[in-house]
């Protein structure tokens, strides 16, 4: 990422150019604001607001009848073992998966951009672009198809994975149900999501690293910094903002995970080990017709999302505080 | 109140499959007539009993499973011979629930819906949005016979919940073990009668590098049916009646427990092909029908048609009754099996052309359409006399028929129009049974988990309870 | 880096490159002329890197290849061994997939929905971002923050009320209804991305246009919008991939089969193919779905990398 142009200076200049209220300007602002905001307000904002009300009703969805039940749904959630399991799974997903995905993507990006010889100019690994292109492939495939393919790959007897393991002599995996075993279902499902997303974050990090001034790298090398140190102490701080936004974005995706989990294990996996809140919500709403209750799950989901975002901001604030020296080295 | 004549249903199953064996017991006919005739807009005549209007179209959504869906297209053609300017659109799907719930909630459900399969809509959540079939039963079929007389007895009872006749089950079905007669002959094996015999056979199979059973994750509940069918044969139908009525402690029954203990032994002795909890069910079934790596599969009589694409040559698919713990003390004779009518068609009350939905079902119940189904799907419908004496040359059909006739009066049919689909236990039970079959659950845990489902349903004030009596 | 701004604000990234920016790694790489003498450690690192990246590439590629090969096998062959090669190319799988799954129809719907939604999103998103970035008026900051908050809410929370909003507006189960929903849910992201872009367009150009007598409308459409093409291209690509992928919204809001988009069709077909024991057609359908976007990506991959470098990611 390059050094940013501070937004402050721009703002001052905009302010200096006086904004007179002409018809042209008013009509322009009005039209440009009202059209998009109307769509946003009706189809995104108002459903969110309504959701908070429905969450406090016992609405079944099929009829117009509903009673206001206050926080009853939320109290019921605290003793709903299946929901608690789903919430724990969602928490596990966002604790583990973004880090794994981003570390993998960052490692690939670093090697691809700066993996060349250490002496002299900073160069990428020869042929690194090839890997970058390949690793993006899965991102072009709809999640549903990714899930379908991997469900076949994981098939215990006809799947690619066990076929391969048998080929290299690991016969004990013959018939092993990767997404049907309570211990492996979650890791195996996580891997599918990681597989789908690594490529996207790789190109993102490649872009960010390429934006780092070459002098910064070369100075570090002259100081005798090794590869690992340059990656950690130069590249990482420079892409920190990208990493943070990636964490947030990926976190949102992962807390959802609906498509992947539904395709891999429609009922929530062995002993509900891959059931997510989103699946539970969908079942309650559209299978069991408990719309009020389902919406209260949605509110909890939103709360978990907020909590997650808050934790990420906090962690990054702490990291930034510690790394100020390195960060300002640029 | 429900199903007052279990005998009638049992006999219905037998009668359906024992070709031509007409039973004289009369179908109890009760005409509640509380439903308005779905306004079709056309004139109501004997030939057009529901007033299907000219120029309308009929929207049918049909479960695309073992029987596929073109039999409804066929019935559509039969209908169009009578109503040339009516169009019939048949949509095939197996994701009934995900696709139909939004349409029900949105007020544009199809005119006729085949609610079947692993993804069916739980009846409890939709029953209030369904119209009844009462006037269909009073109407005459395309051959001029009153429909309630043209079908086997007991069908109306199977489809009636709390007094409302909301489901027409179209196909006669039996639950049984299916196996390859040729494979058994080669090895001089005989199918087991008791769980202990099954354990012995399991060891002989292992010696040949084969397994006794196989399961797939979406069909793990087939093995629940084996457990409960076995318990019914051992201890009587009251065991499942208590379960269906959500009585506390119903699963903790000594007979049922004795079955589950044996079942657990089969699992622990590694008699199942491992990995079923991670395998799509048709792939798992192919291990039995195509690879012959498992000896026996407990399933419904649709299996022959379902696996037609993946069945080994000269397989000689053959049916066999479910196991008992001890033949000497069993409540029912060993020949007893679980059989009745399935493939449940419902009539959404808010549909655009409810008369069309009824008329299409009337066409499906015509001799022509029902005979076509029997011939092409190798399974009889609820319409009497559609299977010829030679059974179309199918070993599976012939042996199923033989099983049914031997079962005779001891036939039971608790699993049809079942409590588990009514209360939407399906998804949760799949999780429980996959874990059990995978060896991850003890019998106590299984019982506790099943109990918990019952308790949850019983305490859910939003769900109307059904009183079952088998 | 500026500390004051909201951390999630997208300007935390890359400004349009100005001439004064220091030479970057990328600039150096493209101008590489010297062949540096490799040391032993360089070779070791290169070997290790190639090995690890190679393994990852295999993990990525092999499932694709396996899908492709399996799509030419009969179901019986697929069921017999994961590695066997097709005895001949069974194109009938593709015919089955195309005919029974109705993929052609779903493709058409998807292109129609995603195309329209993308156009509207970019149009409206650019308008909104421009006004928010360059005009001061009461509520400006509030709008910005509300959209920021909405972006971090799960779509799942909105899905049930949304269903009834569309139903009441008679938009449920219609393609326009789906399109407008897509637009609403992609607007915040688009606005944030372009906000940073418009913020950084030079004020002089705007002033010059106004001095020349161009009104706000003309200034926007003839000057400012063309200048933000790189940003618009980047967001379009990201939005396209996001919308192409959508499953939940159409699953709930678009239930009629003739209106289905590709992801719905694939989910349904997968389930049906399971019952029908037609795994060859399942793999063929997957291939049909994958190929078009993959080909477009391979053709435009340089531009994609370029626009990601140029633009920024929230």
Domains of chain B: 6-173+339-392 (3.40.190.10), 175-338+415-458 (3.40.190.10)
Q: Give start and end residues of each alpha helix (H) in B188-221.
A: 195-207
Q: Is A25 a member of any domain?
A: no
What percentage of chain A reaches a pLDDT higher than 90? 26
Q: Tell me which chain B residues have a C-beta less than 8 angstroms from the C-beta of A62.
A: 104-105, 125-126, 128-129
Which residues on neighbouring strands pair with residue B161, listed in sequence order? B164
Q: What 3 state SS string does chain A have?
A: CCCCCCHHHHHHHHHHCCCCCCHHHHHHHHHHHHHHHHHHHHHHHHHHHHHHHHCCECCCCCCCCCCECCCHHHHHHHCCHHHHHHHHHHHHHHHHHHHHHHHHHHHHHHHHHHCCCCCCCCCCCCCHHHHHHHHHHHHHCCHHHHHHHHHHHCCCCCCHHHHHHHHCCCHHHCCCCCCCCCCCHHHHHHHHHHHHHHHHHHHHHHHHHHCCEHHHHHHHHHCCCCHHHHHHHHHHHHCHHHHHHHHHHHHHHHHHCHHHHHHHCCCCCHHHCCCCHHHHHHHHHHCCCCHHHHHHHHHHHHHHHHHHHHHHHHHHHHHHHHCHHHHHCC
- Residue C11 touches chain A, beta carbons under 8 Å: yes
Q: Which residue is associated with the tokens 């946003």?
A: A40
In 3D, which of B322, B348, B342, B305 has the Cα closest to residue B421?
Answer: B342
- In eight-state DSSP terms, residue B140 is B
Q: Which of B23-37, B56-70, B253-267, C183-197 has the highest mean pLDDT?
A: B253-267
Calpha distance B230→B235 (Å, rounded): 9
**Is residue A132 pLDDT above 90, yes or no?**
no
Interchain proximity C64–A137, CB inside 8 Å: yes
Considering only alpha carbons, which residue of chain B is nearest residue A176? B275
Q: Which of A290-304, C43-57, C74-88, C230-244 has the highest mean pLDDT?
A: A290-304
Interchain proximity A140–C56, CB inside 8 Å: no
Residue pair B422/B245 in contact (Cβ under 8 Å)? The answer is: no
Residue of B129, B217, B280 lying closest to A62 (CB–CB): B129
The pLDDT mean for chain A works out to 82
Which residues on neighbouring strands pair with residue B140, listed in sequence order? B146
Q: Tell me which chain B residues have a C-beta less than 8 angstroms from the C-beta of A185.
A: 278
Categorize the per-residue pLDDT at A121 as very low, low, confident or very high, splitting at 50, 70 and 90.
low
What's residue C39's pLDDT?
67
Q: Tell me which chain A residues have a C-beta less than 8 angstroms from the C-beta of C308.
A: 203-204, 207
Pairing of strands B296-300, B317-320: unpaired
Pairing of strands B57-63, B87-93: parallel
* Cα distances (Å, whole numbers) of residue C163 to B37, B423, C170, C174: 30, 25, 11, 12
Q: Which of A305-309, B227-231, C160-164 has the highest mean pLDDT?
A: B227-231
Categorize the per-residue pLDDT at B400 as very low, low, confident or very high, splitting at 50, 70 and 90.
confident
What's residue C31's pLDDT?
42
What's residue A323's pLDDT?
53
Calpha distance C270→C274 (Å, rounded): 6
Q: Which of A18-22, B15-19, B131-135 has the highest mean pLDDT?
A: B131-135
Q: Which of A204-213, B117-126, B141-150 has the highest mean pLDDT?
A: B141-150
Q: Is A31 a member of any domain?
A: no
In 3D, which of C87, C57, C69 has the Cα closest to residue C287?
Answer: C69
Residue with the bigger pLDDT between B16 and B406: it is: B406
In 3D, which of B160, B135, B161, B140 has the Cα closest to residue B151?
Answer: B140
Categorize the per-residue pLDDT at B300 as very low, low, confident or very high, splitting at 50, 70 and 90.
very high
What's residue A61's pLDDT?
63
The pLDDT mean for chain B works out to 86
What's residue A4's pLDDT?
39
Residue of A10, A203, A301 lying closest to C157 (CB–CB): A301
Residue pair C192/C151 in contact (Cβ under 8 Å)? The answer is: yes
Calpha distance C277→C184 (Å, rounded): 40
What is the average pLDDT across A108-124? 70
Categorize the per-residue pLDDT at B58 as very low, low, confident or very high, splitting at 50, 70 and 90.
very high
- Residue A139 touches chain B, beta carbons under 8 Å: no
Categorize the per-residue pLDDT at B238 as very low, low, confident or very high, splitting at 50, 70 and 90.
very high
What is the average pLDDT across C241-269? 87
Categorize the per-residue pLDDT at C232 as very low, low, confident or very high, splitting at 50, 70 and 90.
confident
Q: Is A310 a member of any domain?
A: yes
Categorize the per-residue pLDDT at A63 as very low, low, confident or very high, splitting at 50, 70 and 90.
low
* Cα distances (Å, whole numbers) of residue C143 to C133, C137, C155, C161: 11, 11, 19, 22
In 3D, which of C199, C313, C25 has the Cα closest to residue A330?
Answer: C25
**Is residue B271 pLDDT above 90, yes or no?**
yes
Q: Is A224 a member of any domain?
A: yes
Interchain proximity A32–C131, CB inside 8 Å: yes
What percentage of chain C reaches a pLDDT higher than 90? 22
Q: Is A33 a member of any domain?
A: no
What's residue A117's pLDDT?
62
Calpha distance B348→B96 (Å, rounded): 14
Structure tokens at B439: 């060896």
Residue A61 exposure: Cα atoms within 13 Å on the Cβ side: 28
- Residue C38 touches chain A, beta carbons under 8 Å: yes
Residue with the bigger pLDDT between B29 and B18: it is: B18
Calpha distance C184→C178 (Å, rounded): 10
Q: Is A23 a member of any domain?
A: no
**Is residue C278 pLDDT above 80, yes or no?**
yes
Q: How many structural domains does chain A have?
A: 1
What percentage of chain B reaches a pLDDT higher than 90? 56
**How many C-beta atoms surround the C-beta of residue A75 within 10 A?**
12
Q: Tell me which chain B residues have a C-beta less than 8 angstroms from the C-beta of C79.
A: 283, 286, 290-291, 310
Considering only alpha carbons, which residue of chain C is nearest residue A199? C60
Helices C229-244, C175-199: inter-axial angle, 10-degree rounding:
150
Considering only alpha carbons, which residue of chain C is nearest residue A159? C82
What's residue A198's pLDDT?
92
What is the model's pTM? 0.81
Structure tokens at B101: 């719930």
What's residue A267's pLDDT?
83
**Is residue B139 pLDDT above 90, yes or no?**
yes
What is the average pLDDT across B289-306? 92
* Cα distances (Å, whole numbers) of residue B452 to A82, B222, B432, C16: 11, 20, 11, 61
Residue B423 exposure: Cα atoms within 13 Å on the Cβ side: 26
What's residue C306's pLDDT?
67
What is the average pLDDT across B350-360? 94
**Is residue B24 pLDDT above 80, yes or no?**
no
Q: Is A24 a member of any domain?
A: no
Considering only alpha carbons, which residue of chain C is nearest residue A12? C203
Categorize the per-residue pLDDT at B310 as very low, low, confident or very high, splitting at 50, 70 and 90.
confident
What's residue A116's pLDDT?
63
CB pairs under 8 A between B and C: 73
Q: Can you spell out the DSSP letters for C164-231? A: HHHHHTT-TTSHHHHHHHHHHHHHHHHHHHHHHHHHTS-HHHHHHHHHTT--HHHIIIIIIHHHTHHH
What's residue B40's pLDDT?
61
- Residue C290 touches chain B, beta carbons under 8 Å: no
What is the average pLDDT across C271-276? 77
Instruction: Summarize pLDDT for A231-273 with one digit per residue, the tens.
Output: 777 778 877 877 888 888 888 888 888 889 988 988 888 889 9
- In eight-state DSSP terms, residue B69 is S
Calpha distance A261→A253 (Å, rounded): 12
- Which of A51-55, A188-192, C17-21, C279-283 comes out lowest in average pLDDT? C17-21
Which residues neighbour B274 within 8 Å (Cβ) at sequence distance 6 or greater? A156, A175, A176, A177, B438
Buried b or exposed e, range B51-88, using 16+ CB within 10 angstroms: bbbeebebbbbbbbbbbbbbbbebbbebbeeebeebeb
What's residue B195's pLDDT?
97
- Residue A258 touches chain B, beta carbons under 8 Å: no
What's residue C11's pLDDT?
36
Interchain proximity A14–C134, CB inside 8 Å: yes
Interchain proximity B94–C275, CB inside 8 Å: yes
Categorize the per-residue pLDDT at B113 as very low, low, confident or very high, splitting at 50, 70 and 90.
very high
**A215: exposed, middle or buried (C-beta count within 10 Å: 0-12, 13-18, 19+)?**
middle
What is the average pLDDT across C224-233? 82
What's residue B180's pLDDT?
96
**Is residue B23 pLDDT above 70, yes or no?**
no
- CB contact residues (below 8 A), chain C span 225-244, against chain A: 241, 244
Q: How far, rounded to the nearest angstrom, does the alpha carbon of residue A236 sit from its chain's CA centroid?
A: 19
Interchain proximity C252–B92, CB inside 8 Å: no
**Is residue A12 pLDDT above 80, yes or no?**
no
- Residue C278 touches chain B, beta carbons under 8 Å: yes
Look up the ipTM and state it.
Answer: 0.82
Instruction: Summarize pLDDT for B196-236 with one digit per residue, the tens.
Output: 999 999 999 999 999 999 999 989 999 999 999 999 999 99
Q: Is A257 a member of any domain?
A: yes
- Which of A17-31, A248-262, C21-35 comes out lowest in average pLDDT? C21-35
Which residues neighbour B94 within 8 Å (Cβ) at sequence distance 6 or greater? B63, B64, B65, B117, B118, B119, C268, C271, C272, C274, C275
What's residue B394's pLDDT?
85
Identify from A52, A150, A207 which residue to disrupt to test chain C contact, counting C C-beta atoms within 10 A and taking the largest count: A207
What's residue B16's pLDDT?
43
Considering only alpha carbons, which residue of chain C is nearest residue B311? C76
CATH number at residue A109: 1.10.3720.10
Considering only alpha carbons, which residue of chain A is nearest residue C154? A302
Q: What subunits make at least 3 CB pairs under 8 angstroms with B?
A: A, C
**Is residue A24 pLDDT above 50, yes or no?**
yes
- The torsion of the CA quartet A248, A250, A254, A257, rounded to 10 degrees, works out to 130
Q: What subunits make at least 3 CB pairs under 8 angstroms with A?
A: B, C
Considering only alpha carbons, which residue of chain A is nearest residue C162? A47
What percentage of chain A reaches a pLDDT higher than 70? 86
Buried b or exposed e, range A251-261, using 16+ CB within 10 angstroms: bbbbbbbbbbb
Calpha distance B71→B88 (Å, rounded): 13
**Is residue B354 pLDDT above 60, yes or no?**
yes
What domain range includes position A280?
75-328
Q: How far, rounded to the nearest angstrom, does the alpha carbon of residue B199 sit from its chain's CA centroid?
A: 28
Q: Tell me which chain C residues have a C-beta less than 8 angstroms from the C-beta of B93.
A: 257, 268, 271-272
Residue of B95, B281, B310 lying closest to C267 (CB–CB): B95
Interchain proximity B65–C275, CB inside 8 Å: yes
Categorize the per-residue pLDDT at A20 as very low, low, confident or very high, splitting at 50, 70 and 90.
low
- CB contact residues (below 8 A), chain B span 218-277, against chain C: 218
What is the average pLDDT across B90-113? 85
**Is residue A325 pLDDT above 80, yes or no?**
no
**Maximum Cα–Cα distance for chain A, whole Å?**
79
Which residues neighbour A221 within 8 Å (Cβ) at sequence distance 6 or greater? A118, A119, A122, A230
**Is residue A289 pLDDT above 80, yes or no?**
no
**A165: exposed, middle or buried (C-beta count within 10 Å: 0-12, 13-18, 19+)?**
middle
In 3D, which of B114, B133, B424, B447 has the Cα closest to residue B259?
Answer: B447
Q: Can you spell out the DSSP letters for C219-230? A: IIIIIIHHHTHH
What's residue C2's pLDDT?
34
What is the average pLDDT across A265-287? 87
CA distance C104 to chain A (A): 16
Which residues neighbour B90 within 8 Å (Cβ) at sequence distance 6 or greater? B60, B61, B62, B69, B70, B72, B73, B76
Q: Tell me which chain C residues have a C-beta less than 8 angstroms from the C-beta of B95.
A: 267-268, 271
Considering only alpha carbons, which residue of chain B is nearest residue C76? B310
Instruction: Summarize pLDDT for B433-450 with one digit per residue, the tens.
Output: 999 999 999 999 999 999
Q: Tell me which chain C residues have a C-beta less than 8 angstroms from the C-beta of A209.
A: 25
- Which of A91-95, A102-106, C20-24, C231-235 comes out lowest in average pLDDT? C20-24
What is the average pLDDT across B275-280? 89
Interchain proximity C130–A211, CB inside 8 Å: no
Interchain proximity B107–C167, CB inside 8 Å: yes
Identify from A61, A153, A157 which residue to disrupt to test chain B contact, counting B C-beta atoms within 10 A and taking the largest count: A157
Residue with the bigger pLDDT between A20 and A330: it is: A20
Considering only alpha carbons, which residue of chain C is nearest residue B94? C272
What is the average pLDDT across B294-317? 91
Categorize the per-residue pLDDT at B459 as very low, low, confident or very high, splitting at 50, 70 and 90.
confident
Which residues neighbour B63 within 8 Å (Cβ) at sequence distance 6 or greater? B69, B93, B94, B96, B114, B115, B116, B117, B120, B343
Residue pair B419/B35 in contact (Cβ under 8 Å)? The answer is: no
What is the average pLDDT across C11-30? 42
Calpha distance A35→C131 (Å, rounded): 12
Q: Tell me which chain C residues have a C-beta less than 8 angstroms from the C-beta of B281.
A: 274
CB pairs under 8 A between A and B: 100
- Residue B68 touches chain C, beta carbons under 8 Å: yes
């Amino acid at each position: 990422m390059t050094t940013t142009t501070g937004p402050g200076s721009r703002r001052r200049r905009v302010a200096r150019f006086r904004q007179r209220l002409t018809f042209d300007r008013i009509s322009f602002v009005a039209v440009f604001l009202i059209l998009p905001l109307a769509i946003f307000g009706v189809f995104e904002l108002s459903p969110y607001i309504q959701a908070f009300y429905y969450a406090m009703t016992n609405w079944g969805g099929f009829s117009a009848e509903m009673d206001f039940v206050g926080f009853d749904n939320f109290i019921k959630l605290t003793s709903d073992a299946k929901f608690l399991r789903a919430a724990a799974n969602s928490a596990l997903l966002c604790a583990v998966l973004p880090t794994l995905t981003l570390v993998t993507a960052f490692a690939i990006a670093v090697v691809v951009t700066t993996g060349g010889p250490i002496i002299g100019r900073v160069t990428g690994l020869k042929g690194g672009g090839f890997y970058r292109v390949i690793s993006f492939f899965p991102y072009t495939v709809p999640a549903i198809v990714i899930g379908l393919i991997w469900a076949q790959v994981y098939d215990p007897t006809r799947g690619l994975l066990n076929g391969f393991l048998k080929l290299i002599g690991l016969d004990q995996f013959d018939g092993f149900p990767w997404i049907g075993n309570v211990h492996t279902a979650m890791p195996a499902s996580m891997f599918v999501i990681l597989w789908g997303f690594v490529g996207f974050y790789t190109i993102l990090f490649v872009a960010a690293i390429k934006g780092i001034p070459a002098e910064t790298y070369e100075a570090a090398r002259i100081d005798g910094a090794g590869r690992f140190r340059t990656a950690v102490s130069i590249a990482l701080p420079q892409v920190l903002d990208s990493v943070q936004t990636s964490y947030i974005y990926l976190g949102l995706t992962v807390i959802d995970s609906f498509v992947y989990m539904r395709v891999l294990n429609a009922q929530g996996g062995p002993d509900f080990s891959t059931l997510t809140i989103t699946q539970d919500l969908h079942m309650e709403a559209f299978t069991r017709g408990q719309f009020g209750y389902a919406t209260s799950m949605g509110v909890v989901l939103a709360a978990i999302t907020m909590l997650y975002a808050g934790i990420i901001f906090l962690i990054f604030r702490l990291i930034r505080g510690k790394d100020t020296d390195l960060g300002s080295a640029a | 109140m429900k199903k007052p004549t279990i005998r009638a249903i049992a006999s219905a199953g037998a009668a359906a499959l024992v070709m031509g064996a007409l039973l004289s017991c009369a179908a109890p006919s009760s005409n509640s007539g509380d439903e308005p005739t779905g306004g079709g807009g056309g004139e109501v005549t004997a030939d057009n009993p529901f007033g299907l209007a000219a120029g309308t179209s009929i929207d049918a959504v049909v479960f695309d499973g073992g029987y596929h869906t073109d039999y409804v297209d066929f019935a559509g053609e039969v209908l169009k011979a009578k109503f040339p300017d009516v169009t019939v659109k048949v949509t095939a799907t197996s994701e009934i629930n995900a696709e139909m719930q939004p349409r029900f909630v949105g007020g544009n459900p199809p005119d006729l819906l085949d609610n079947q399969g692993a993804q069916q809509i739980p009846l409890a959540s939709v029953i209030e949005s369904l119209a009844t079939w009462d006037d269909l039963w009073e109407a005459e079929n395309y051959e001029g016979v009153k429909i309630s007389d043209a079908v086997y007895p007991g069908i109306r009872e199977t489809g009636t919940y709390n007094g409302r006749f909301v489901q027409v089950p179209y196909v006669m079905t039996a639950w049984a073990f299916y196996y390859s007669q040729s494979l058994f002959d080669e090895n001089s094996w005989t199918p087991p009668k008791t769980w202990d015999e099954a354990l012995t056979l399991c060891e002989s199979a292992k010696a040949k590098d084969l397994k006794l059973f196989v399961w797939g994750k979406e069909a793990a509940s087939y093995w629940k049916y084996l457990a409960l069918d076995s318990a019914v044969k051992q201890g009587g139908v009251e065991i499942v009646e208590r379960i269906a009525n959500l009585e506390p402690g119903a699963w903790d029954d000594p007979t049922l427990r004795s079955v589950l203990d044996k079942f657990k032994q089969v699992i622990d002795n590694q008699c199942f092909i491992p990995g079923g909890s991670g395998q799509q069910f048709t792939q798992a079934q192919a291990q039995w029908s195509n690879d012959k790596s498992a000896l026996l599969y407990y399933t419904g009589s649709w299996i022959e048609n379902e696996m037609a694409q993946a069945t080994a040559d000269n397989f000689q698919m053959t049916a066999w009754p479910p196991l008992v713990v001890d033949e000497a003390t069993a409540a029912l004779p060993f020949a007893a099996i679980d059989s009745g009518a399935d493939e449940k068609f419902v009539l959404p009350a808010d549909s655009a052309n409810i008369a069309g939905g009824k008329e299409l079902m009337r066409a499906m119940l015509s001799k022509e359409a029902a005979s076509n189904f029997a011939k092409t799907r190798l399974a009889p419908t609820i319409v009497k006399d559609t299977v010829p004496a030679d059974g179309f040359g199918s070993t599976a059909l012939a042996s199923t028929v033989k099983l049914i006739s031997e079962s005779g009066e001891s036939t039971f049919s608790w699993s049809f129009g079942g409590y588990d689909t009514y209360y939407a236990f399906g998804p949760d039970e799949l999780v429980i049974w996959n874990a059990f079959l995978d060896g991850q659950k003890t019998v106590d845990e299984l019982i506790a988990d099943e109990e918990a489902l019952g308790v949850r349903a019983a305490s859910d004030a939003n769900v109307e309870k059904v009183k079952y009596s088998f | 880096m500026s500390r004051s701004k909201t951390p999630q604000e997208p300007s935390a990234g890359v400004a349009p490159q100005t001439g004064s920016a220091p030479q970057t790694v990328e600039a150096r790489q493209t101008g590489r002329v010297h062949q540096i003498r490799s040391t032993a450690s360089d070779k070791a690192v290169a070997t290790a890197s190639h090995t690890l990246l190679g393994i990852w590439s295999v993990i990525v590629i092999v499932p694709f290849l396996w899908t492709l090969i399996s799509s030419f096998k009969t179901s019986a062959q697929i069921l017999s061994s994961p590695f066997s090669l097709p005895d001949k190319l069974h194109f009938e799988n593709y015919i089955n997939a195309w005919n029974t799954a109705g993929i052609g129809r779903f493709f058409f719907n998807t292109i129609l929905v995603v195309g329209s939604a993308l156009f509207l999103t970019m149009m409206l998103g650019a308008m909104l971002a421009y006004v928010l970035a360059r005009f001061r008026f009461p509520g400006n900051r509030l709008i910005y923050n509300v959209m920021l908050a909405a972006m971090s809410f799960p779509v799942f929370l909105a899905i049930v009320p949304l269903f009834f909003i569309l139903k009441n507006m008679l938009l449920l189960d219609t393609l326009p209804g789906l399109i407008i929903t897509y637009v609403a849910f992609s607007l915040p992201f688009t606005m944030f991305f372009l906000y940073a872009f418009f913020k950084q367009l030079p004020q002089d150009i705007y002033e010059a246009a106004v001095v020349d007598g161009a009104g706000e409308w003309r200034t926007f459409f003839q000057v400012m919008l063309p200048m933000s093409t790189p940003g618009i291209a980047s967001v379009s690509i990201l939005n396209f991939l996001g919308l192409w992928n959508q499953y939940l919204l159409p699953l709930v809001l678009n239930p009629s089969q003739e209106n289905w988009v590709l992801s719905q069709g694939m989910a349904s077909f997968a389930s049906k193919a399971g019952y029908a024991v037609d795994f060859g057609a399942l793999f063929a359908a997957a291939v049909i779905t994958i190929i078009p976007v993959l080909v477009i990506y391979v053709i435009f991959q340089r531009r994609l990398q370029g626009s990601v470098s140029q633009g920024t990611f929230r």
